[in-house]
Amino acid sequence: PPSIPRRMTVPPPTGGSAGGPAGGSADAQSDGAPRPPVLVVDDNRDNTEIIARYLGVRGYPITVAHSGDEALALFEQVRPSLVLLDVMMPGRDGWEVCQLMKQHPVLGRRVRVIMVTALDAWDDKRHAIQTGADDYVTKPFELPDLAARVDRNAAMLRPDA
Protein backbone atom coordinates (compact mmCIF):
# COMPACT_ATOMS: atom_id res chain seq x y z
CA PRO A 1 0.00 0.00 0.00
CA PRO A 2 1.15 3.58 -0.55
CA SER A 3 2.85 5.16 2.42
CA ILE A 4 1.16 7.97 4.30
CA PRO A 5 3.38 10.94 5.13
CA ARG A 6 4.13 11.33 8.82
CA ARG A 7 3.11 14.97 8.73
CA MET A 8 0.01 15.68 6.73
CA THR A 9 -1.46 19.14 6.40
CA VAL A 10 -4.48 19.16 4.16
CA PRO A 11 -5.39 22.53 2.65
CA PRO A 12 -8.88 23.88 3.40
CA PRO A 13 -11.50 23.46 0.70
CA THR A 14 -11.54 26.24 -1.87
CA GLY A 15 -14.50 28.53 -2.37
CA GLY A 16 -16.12 29.23 0.98
CA SER A 17 -13.08 29.20 3.24
CA ALA A 18 -12.98 31.87 5.90
CA GLY A 19 -10.46 34.60 5.39
CA GLY A 20 -9.91 34.03 1.67
CA PRO A 21 -6.46 33.86 0.14
CA ALA A 22 -5.05 36.76 2.19
CA GLY A 23 -6.85 35.86 5.41
CA GLY A 24 -4.49 33.46 7.10
CA SER A 25 -3.27 29.91 6.91
CA ALA A 26 -4.91 26.51 7.10
CA ASP A 27 -3.81 26.42 10.74
CA ALA A 28 -6.18 29.22 11.79
CA GLN A 29 -9.62 28.91 13.35
CA SER A 30 -12.50 31.09 12.18
CA ASP A 31 -11.61 33.57 14.97
CA GLY A 32 -8.04 33.81 13.64
CA ALA A 33 -6.43 31.80 16.45
CA PRO A 34 -4.10 29.02 15.30
CA ARG A 35 -5.25 25.42 15.65
CA PRO A 36 -3.10 23.28 17.94
CA PRO A 37 -0.99 20.47 16.42
CA VAL A 38 -2.53 16.99 16.63
CA LEU A 39 -0.79 13.61 16.68
CA VAL A 40 -3.02 10.80 15.36
CA VAL A 41 -1.87 7.33 16.46
CA ASP A 42 -3.42 4.13 15.11
CA ASP A 43 -1.89 1.01 13.58
CA ASN A 44 -4.75 0.98 11.02
CA ARG A 45 -3.57 3.21 8.17
CA ASP A 46 -7.10 3.70 6.85
CA ASN A 47 -8.15 5.13 10.21
CA THR A 48 -5.21 7.53 10.40
CA GLU A 49 -5.73 8.73 6.84
CA ILE A 50 -9.46 9.39 7.32
CA ILE A 51 -8.97 11.20 10.63
CA ALA A 52 -5.98 13.19 9.34
CA ARG A 53 -7.83 14.38 6.25
CA TYR A 54 -11.00 15.24 8.16
CA LEU A 55 -9.21 17.27 10.84
CA GLY A 56 -6.70 18.67 8.35
CA VAL A 57 -9.36 20.39 6.29
CA ARG A 58 -10.55 21.96 9.53
CA GLY A 59 -7.18 23.62 9.96
CA TYR A 60 -5.47 21.26 12.39
CA PRO A 61 -1.80 20.52 11.63
CA ILE A 62 -1.70 16.72 11.67
CA THR A 63 1.12 14.27 12.31
CA VAL A 64 0.48 10.53 11.97
CA ALA A 65 2.09 7.58 13.78
CA HIS A 66 1.30 3.90 13.26
CA SER A 67 2.83 2.40 16.41
CA GLY A 68 3.39 3.29 20.03
CA ASP A 69 7.15 3.67 19.61
CA GLU A 70 6.72 5.89 16.55
CA ALA A 71 4.18 7.96 18.48
CA LEU A 72 6.59 8.50 21.37
CA ALA A 73 9.40 9.57 19.01
CA LEU A 74 7.10 12.00 17.16
CA PHE A 75 5.72 13.28 20.48
CA GLU A 76 9.22 14.54 21.32
CA GLN A 77 9.78 16.02 17.84
CA VAL A 78 6.40 17.56 17.03
CA ARG A 79 5.31 18.46 20.58
CA PRO A 80 1.58 18.13 19.81
CA SER A 81 -1.05 19.74 21.99
CA LEU A 82 -3.57 16.98 21.30
CA VAL A 83 -3.07 13.24 20.77
CA LEU A 84 -5.72 10.93 19.34
CA LEU A 85 -4.55 7.52 20.53
CA ASP A 86 -5.74 4.04 19.64
CA VAL A 87 -5.44 1.46 22.43
CA MET A 88 -5.03 -1.88 20.70
CA MET A 89 -1.74 -1.70 18.78
CA PRO A 90 1.10 -4.20 18.46
CA GLY A 91 4.11 -3.50 20.66
CA ARG A 92 3.40 -0.65 23.05
CA ASP A 93 -0.34 -0.32 23.45
CA GLY A 94 -2.20 2.95 23.85
CA TRP A 95 -2.45 2.60 27.62
CA GLU A 96 1.35 2.54 27.98
CA VAL A 97 1.86 5.30 25.40
CA CYS A 98 -0.65 7.55 27.16
CA GLN A 99 0.98 6.99 30.53
CA LEU A 100 4.47 7.73 29.14
CA MET A 101 3.26 10.89 27.39
CA LYS A 102 1.52 12.17 30.50
CA GLN A 103 4.61 11.45 32.62
CA HIS A 104 6.89 13.43 30.29
CA PRO A 105 8.61 16.07 32.47
CA VAL A 106 8.01 18.95 30.03
CA LEU A 107 5.27 17.99 27.60
CA GLY A 108 3.10 15.87 29.89
CA ARG A 109 1.47 18.82 31.64
CA ARG A 110 0.35 20.52 28.44
CA VAL A 111 -0.86 17.67 26.22
CA ARG A 112 -4.44 16.41 26.09
CA VAL A 113 -4.86 12.75 25.14
CA ILE A 114 -8.08 11.45 23.60
CA MET A 115 -8.29 7.67 23.52
CA VAL A 116 -9.97 6.50 20.30
CA THR A 117 -10.76 2.81 20.61
CA ALA A 118 -13.20 -0.02 19.96
CA LEU A 119 -13.08 -0.86 23.67
CA ASP A 120 -16.31 0.38 25.19
CA ALA A 121 -16.58 -1.30 28.60
CA TRP A 122 -16.78 0.86 31.70
CA ASP A 123 -13.53 -0.69 33.00
CA ASP A 124 -11.73 0.40 29.82
CA LYS A 125 -12.87 3.98 30.30
CA ARG A 126 -11.76 3.89 33.93
CA HIS A 127 -8.39 2.50 32.85
CA ALA A 128 -8.04 5.37 30.34
CA ILE A 129 -8.53 7.92 33.12
CA GLN A 130 -6.06 6.06 35.34
CA THR A 131 -3.39 6.20 32.61
CA GLY A 132 -3.93 9.95 32.23
CA ALA A 133 -6.30 10.21 29.26
CA ASP A 134 -8.37 13.38 29.10
CA ASP A 135 -11.18 12.05 26.90
CA TYR A 136 -12.47 8.82 25.37
CA VAL A 137 -14.11 8.18 21.98
CA THR A 138 -15.50 4.76 21.09
CA LYS A 139 -15.14 3.33 17.57
CA PRO A 140 -17.02 3.37 15.37
CA PHE A 141 -17.67 7.10 15.57
CA GLU A 142 -19.09 9.81 13.37
CA LEU A 143 -16.39 12.16 12.07
CA PRO A 144 -18.32 15.34 13.04
CA ASP A 145 -18.58 13.98 16.60
CA LEU A 146 -14.84 13.30 16.70
CA ALA A 147 -14.11 16.81 15.37
CA ALA A 148 -16.38 18.29 18.07
CA ARG A 149 -14.46 16.32 20.72
CA VAL A 150 -11.15 17.58 19.31
CA ASP A 151 -12.47 21.16 19.26
CA ARG A 152 -13.64 20.85 22.86
CA ASN A 153 -10.29 19.50 24.02
CA ALA A 154 -8.43 22.18 22.06
CA ALA A 155 -10.49 24.80 23.91
CA MET A 156 -9.38 23.26 27.24
CA LEU A 157 -5.66 23.50 26.55
CA ARG A 158 -3.68 25.28 29.24
CA PRO A 159 -3.01 28.88 28.25
CA ASP A 160 0.62 28.59 29.38
CA ALA A 161 1.19 25.61 27.10
Q: Please, are residues 66 and 8 in contact by the beta-carbon 8 Å criterion? A: no
> In angstroms, how far is CA 155 from the centroid of its own chain?
14
pTM: 0.81
Secondary-structure breakdown of the chain: helix, strand, coil percentages, each rounded to the nearest 5 = 35, 15, 50
User: Which residues make Cβ contacts (< 8 Å) with residue 58, sequence separation at least 6?
Assistant: 12, 35, 147
Mode of pairing for the β-strands spanning 112-117 and 62-65: unpaired
Q: What pLDDT, on a 0 to 100 scale, did the predictor assign at position 102?
A: 98
Taking 70 as the pLDDT cut, the residues of the chain under it are 1-32, 158-161
Residue pair 134/39 in contact (Cβ under 8 Å)? The answer is no
Three-state DSSP state, 44 = coil
In this prediction, residue 33 carries a pLDDT of 76
pLDDT at res. 31: 58
Average pLDDT, the chain: 84
